[in-house]
Amino acid sequence: MDLIELTHPERKVHLGSALHSVPDLMIRLALTPAEIKKLKRDRTTCMIIEAPSAEWVEPLAKAAKLLGDWQSVHSTKEPVRKSYRSVIPNDKAVHTLAAGGRTLGVSQNPFSYLPKAMTASADILLKIAAPDDEILREAIKLATGSTPHLIPQGISTGLDYGRDLRRDTFRQHGQVLYRTPPCGVSS
């Protein structure tokens, strides 16, 4: 598995816990070399991420924010209600795009839930699939420094971020499969 290195000059991306490294790995492995070059080079990029489900929207948005400076970030799990306030995210996206800034949008249904200005001008569109077994193995390896030994095949099937990855614990069918050691304790 090739992990794509994208580092922001002022920030070090630390993948210290499996909980946070899974969404980061999902994004990094979905990016093509051309998209990586664009993110490193261009300051006017509009990137849209389609999450596998509503549970993954916020974790993927948080991970994507580490890929660079974004002047406008919009993540949503539900359609915007028609009101004066619903105009604000669209206006911010339009102003950022018009000014040549970077915009990021994340949703499980981006073409219905994100501002039309963002989806119409997307330079990068990532459709992220749910994490597979290999991503989970790599996340545990990044968190612990060692390759996990007993990870059953198919462990990622039906994985839910909110239920199965909370508190740095991988759970499957109610069984704890991996728990990040407390701070200061190495495995």
User: Taking all residues of the chain, what is their mean pLDDT, rounded to a whole number?
Assistant: 77
70-84, 104-118, 131-145: range with highest mean pLDDT: 104-118
Type of residue numbered 95 = H
- Highest mean pLDDT: which range of 9-23, 51-65, 75-89: 51-65
Instruction: Summarize pLDDT for 111-129 with one digit per residue, the tens.
Output: 999 988 899 999 999 999 9
Where helices occur in the chain by DSSP H, the ranges are: 18-30, 33-41, 57-65, 84-98, 110-113, 116-120, 133-144, 161-164
Residue 30: pLDDT band with limits 50, 70, 90:
very high
Strands 72-75 and 103-107: parallel
Give the model's confidence band at 10: pLDDT under 50 very low, under 70 low, under 90 confident, else very high: very low
Distance CA 69, CA 152 (A): 38
Residue 60 dihedral angles phi and psi, to the nearest 5°: -70, -40
Domains in the chain: boundaries: 11-187
Mean pLDDT of 37-42: 90
pLDDT at position 81: 63
The pLDDT value given to residue 97: 82
pLDDT tens per residue across span 41-69: 988 899 999 999 999 999 999 999 998 88
